[in-house]
Each structure stands twice: as C-alpha cells, then as structure tokens.
Structure 1
Amino acid sequence: MKKLILPSLMLLQGCLLFATAIPFYNQRPLAISGEIFFNQSTTSTNDTGFQITYASNHGQWLWEGSLRHQKPETNATFAFFFLQGKPEQRISSWVGTQINYFQHGSSNGSLALSESYTLAIQSTALHNWTQICAGTGVQAINSWSEYHELPLWGVSPYLHVSITQAFRNRIFCSVFIGSNTLTLYKSQLSYFYGGSLSVRISDNILLNLRPLVHLSDLPSESTVITMRQLTLAVIWYDKEKESFLLHRLEELL
C-alpha cells in the first residue's frame, strides 16, 4: 500500500492541474515557444530534439505546458504559478506547482511533482533593468524500469538562481544554475548551469539562444554524467502582456 501512495498523489496532482487549466484555454496566449536543441545525451539515439511551450495567464495566475522530444525520450510538463505582486515591481514572488512525465521508449519512465517558491528582486531602471531570482522547493520522484523489479521513488530539493540583465529592453542576458527533472528515470538528483541570450526581433517575437551543461548522478555508481545542450528558440508573445513575460523569461524557457 505504501508503494502506491506517492504515485497516487502525483496522479491526483496531475488531474487537478489539467482541470484547473481549462479556463486558461479561453484566454489569449501569453507566449508560444518553438525550439530545437543539440544535446549530448547518453541515453538518446539522436543528438537533436525539439520542444514546444505554451503559456497563458489569467490575472495573477500563470499556466505553462511543454512537450519535449529527443528520440526515444519524451517529456511532458504542466505547471501553475501564482504571482504575489507585479512582475515589474522591485520585489515580487512566485509560488508554483509542477508535474513532469518522462518516458524513455517503452521500458523506462518517471513522474515527478515539484513545489517551489521564487523571490525576484528587480531594479527600478525602465529599459536597462536587472533582476535577481532565487527559488527553492522540493520535488518527489517516482520512476519505473523493466530492469528494476520494483518502482523507485524519492524526494530531493529544488533549487534555482538566475540573474537577468536587460539592455534598452531589447536584449536580455541571463546566467542561471539549478536542479531539474531531466533523466529522472535513472538519476537521484540533477543539476544544470548555463546562460541565455534573447533578442527582440519585432514587437512580439524574441529569438533566444541558450547553452547549458547538465549534470546527473547515478544511484548505482559513484559517477556523474555530464551532458551539454545548445538551444535555439523562437518565441511569440502577447505585446499587451510584455512585462509579465519578460520578467519570467528565463524560467519560462
């Protein structure tokens, strides 16, 4: 019975996310991102993949959904965040919940639930603003594999820190470090670090380039897997909700 508690809670959380997301489909999208990436994954047969991300907001609520595929791996992520304050204010914060489903072919998979709190400190400059974000939380993971007799599960911390600098509100540079849920089916804890460069090429289109390094440990060995990734993304966003997006840009991607 105890082995079913965590998967059941995750399934319930996923149903709640889907149910509460329905009203957001009646809203105009906040942003839609299409991206291709080169990733030196040790578990994929291809070095390239793609991801599609959809975001919408209703008042202080933000909903995000994404689908990522790198043969033979597929990730689906759904998340809700509540903004306390306004994104352009000097100090604001986000409270979020996220569920991530990972599938490796037909033999391995995992389900993860993350709860997080992020504090953002924003400079008062209008066009050359600076933002520092620090997030913490917890994530529960349930993994299964045809090579394991029983499902594996555990709890690990969620951490995220980023610094973003805007130049004339047209170019946005950021550096970040954090933990995430890629390669969950075989990792106890994963970290990544990297940077992001976004350039506004029209009133409502951004071009984003993002290199990062992903580190994962293996539960069965004293070793760390290092994977490097380079992503190119085109982002369409609602001009009327520009401040909501730009001050959430790094975590959205």
Structure 2
Amino acid sequence: MEPVRPAFVPDPSLSREAMEALQDEIATAAVFDDDLTFDPGDVTVDRDGDQRSLVDAEPPVIAGVDQAFLGDDRAVSAAVALRAGEVIDEATAVAETEIPYIPGLLSFREGNAVLAALQSLSVTPDLTVIDGSGRIHFRQAGLATHVGVTLDRPTVGVAKNLLCGTPREPLPDRLPEGARIAIKSDADVTAPDGTVIGYAYQSRQYDRGSTSINPLYVSPGHRISAETAVDVVERTCDGYKLPEPTRLADALADKAKADFE
C-alpha cells in the first residue's frame, strides 16, 4: 500500500500551525460515510462461522494496528491482518518519533511507523482498525483519519480515552455490555455542533461487583460511517475488551519492542 495522497504523509518537522492546517485539509478530504468493498455483516473473528456471502465472496481482510515505544524517541508499530479470524500476515516497523506527545497531534508522532507497518504487509486490508482516534478529534483528523486518507483506505479509530466531544447522554459509572452512546461534536470540534463523530461502546463488562471496565471510544477514520464503525468493532471484540485485530497487534508490538531492546 503506497500513499495515494503523499502530501499528507506526516511530517514532524512542520510547525504546530502547519500541522493543524494540514489536519484541516485531511478532514476535508475524509469520507465519513460508508464506501466499502465488502458487506460489514461479513466481518467476524469467529473461525467456525459462515464466512461466505450469497455470491461466495472472499471474507474481508481486517487489519489491526497498535504501537509500543522504545524510550522517548522511537515508535514500534505492529500490523496484523486477519481473514475470518485467521492471521494471514503480520508486520512491524520502527520509526523515529521526533516530537513529544501533544494532544491532537499524535499522527505526526506515530503516523510514519503506522504507515511503514501497513506498507510491509503482503496483503491490502479491506478495513484497518487503529489504536487511536479517528473523527473524535479537535479537527476531525485523528491518527486513524490521517492514515486512512493518506492511503485512501477504510479505517476505524478505537481509543481508550475520550479526546474531545460530548456524550449524547451522561456516561454512567458502569455502562452495560453492548451499550452505545453517541459522541457529539461541541465547541472543541470543527464539525457542526451536534454531529455524531463516534460512539462510546462498552465491548465488555463484568457480570457483577463494583469494579467496572471502561468503554472504548470508536470513531470513523475514513470511508466508513460512525454507525458502521461501531458495528464492525462489536463484531470483532470476540469476548475481549479490545477488537481482536488491535489486541493481536498490541501483543505483536510488545514482542517486537522486546526484540529491539
């Protein structure tokens, strides 16, 4: 996968103002509606499930991407590609981070490692799930959107914390498993007020007790809607909190980090 829009490849040498201006351009180029080459209903990580559509199409390839860090100056990105729950390829890449973590500018710190890992795959994913935000971002251009628009491939962002936006209703201390609460844009987001930019999604919850599992924050990256993005994440969680593609990528990133250390 080579960048379709090379002008959007993250350049950490830019000034903060230039980075934010580029994010505005990326958000303008992003498509937050479904433009997929597969039926989202065919997405699963169940190896024993019926993976064939009525036209006997190949199941979609779903990739997961996650990062680990070697000190403060290198990011290790891991990409794992699955078809019908089976790992069919995986790759890792290391890139200099060059800039510190700045809220809203994560893609300029980690994006080149992500792109390098995805480009090292021997298959082209039909959809990539990235550990990070997509449209839930101040300028609607989080890591998943930046990568998706650069490659012009469908992407979803799955974050563990809410960067911006306002839940449509207050999030309870213990959200039941399977619950979804829309995240709307507000004054901190460039989208029109009230736009649904993603969802808080409770992928897993303990059956009882006072300890609670926090929800995931799912948002469209590129060429997918907010509603379909959370549908896909739900279909790939497989009993874990994280979607299986990013859960496996997280483990691979940790292994790669240990190999590099």
Check whether TM > 0.5.
Answer: no
Q: Which has the higher contact order (CA 8 A, sep 6+)?
A: 2
Give the helix-richer structure, 1 or 2.
Answer: 2
TM-score, normalization by structure 2: 0.31
Give the strand-richer structure, 1 or 2.
Answer: 1
